[in-house]
Amino acid sequence: MKPVMIITGAGRGIGAATAIMAAQKGYAVAVNYRSDKASADKVVAEIESDGGRAIAVQADVVDEAAIVAMFETVDRELGRVDVLVNNAGVVDQIGRVDEMSFERVDRMMKINVVGPFICAREAIKRMSTRHGGNGGAIVNVGSAASHLGGAGEYVDYAASKGAIDTMTEGLAKEVAGEGIRVNTVRPGVIRTTIHASGGNPDKPNVAGSVIPMGRIGEPEEIANAVLWLAEAGFTTGALVDVDGGV
Ligand code: NAP
């Protein structure tokens, strides 16, 4: 039996790169998506054509019933999850806090914080030795924004990723004795579509000038860190910065 990895938001960007790399390393991969089924199916087809095993599973991470159903689908089709990658996340239009609507901040926190918590809950129920599991790993995709703060751009997003840093610290300690490791990768600016969705399509073109290494990162460079943390047997509660030195 292949070890099983669930990756939220894996139809494109960092999640898709992680799914493809995980399959190459021998994982059976659940490629979660919210709305873009075609992209998730494409990732699955690429993995299968390379001889790997993957399924696409729809679930919006703000929908508790959908998250529970996703884990049940994975139980049935791939087996009990070994690694959860909490990757799905959003930014919003560039703006100041005094311009932000209640709905915007509420949505940000639901997708970027509540979703990862509920996915972690479902994973722990299956992984924890306390619940009869064999242990496992949770890898969150946070952001360099959590320590930079996002001023004038998206303080709400930065704060949501700050919550992920703190969750990593606390949850890692909470489940360390139950065979589960919890870690977070904090990417800097990475070449994906998230910048266009936040109304800042030029960010990848200009960001390189303020990054000490002089360039932005590629999704595969984050996937590499996620896969390392998935298997780093004595590492838990770590925040791993993959950001070109910011
Ligand atoms: P992306 O290219 O915009 O892709 C986001 C993925 O998340 C999509 O597959 C999308 O699915 C999914 N998603 C969004 N909302 C969802 C929801 N409610 N439920 C389930 N899936 C959902 O983003 P990315 O750049 O790869 O970002 C991945 C993670 O890295 C995020 O957590 C982001 O905050 C973090 N990050 C990115 C950067 C960067 O520069 N790119 C930097 C720091 C941190 P659909 O397509 O189906 O909607």
Ligand 1: residue of 33, 36, 153, 184 to mutate (most ligand atoms within 8 A of CB) is: 33
pLDDT band at 65; cut points 50, 70, 90: very high
* Residue range 183-227, pLDDT digits in tens: 999 999 999 999 998 888 888 888 888 999 999 999 999 999 999
Beta-ladder partners of 4: 28
CA distances from 194 to 14, 82, 172, 219 (A): 10, 28, 28, 12
Cβ 143 under 6 angstroms from ligand 1 = yes
By C-alpha distance, which of 151, 153, 225 is closest to 186? Answer: 225
Ligand 1 atom nearest to CA at 33 = 47
Asked if 23 contacts 54 with a C-beta cutoff of 8 angstroms, the reply is yes
pLDDT tens column, 4-38: 999 999 999 999 999 999 999 999 999 999 999 99
SS3 18: helix
Please name each of the domains of the chain with its CATH number.
4-242 (3.40.50.720)
Question: Could you tell me the two tokens for 89?
Answer: 């996340």
Residue 88 Cβ contacting ligand 1 at under 6 Å:
yes
State the pLDDT at residue 202: 86
| Residues labelled catalytic | 157
What is the tens place of the pLDDT at every residue in 81-114? 999 999 999 999 999 999 999 999 999 999 999 9
CA of 232 from ligand 1 middle (Å) equals: 24
Residue 203 Cβ contacting ligand 1 at under 6 Å: no
33 within ligand 1 shell (Cβ under 6 A): yes
Alpha helices for the chain (secondary structure H): 13-24, 37-49, 64-77, 102-109, 115-127, 145-148, 155-175, 194-197, 203-207, 219-231
Ligand 1 center from residue 19 Cα (angstroms): 13
Q: How far apart, in whole angstroms, are the C-alpha atoms of residue 43 and residue 50?
A: 11
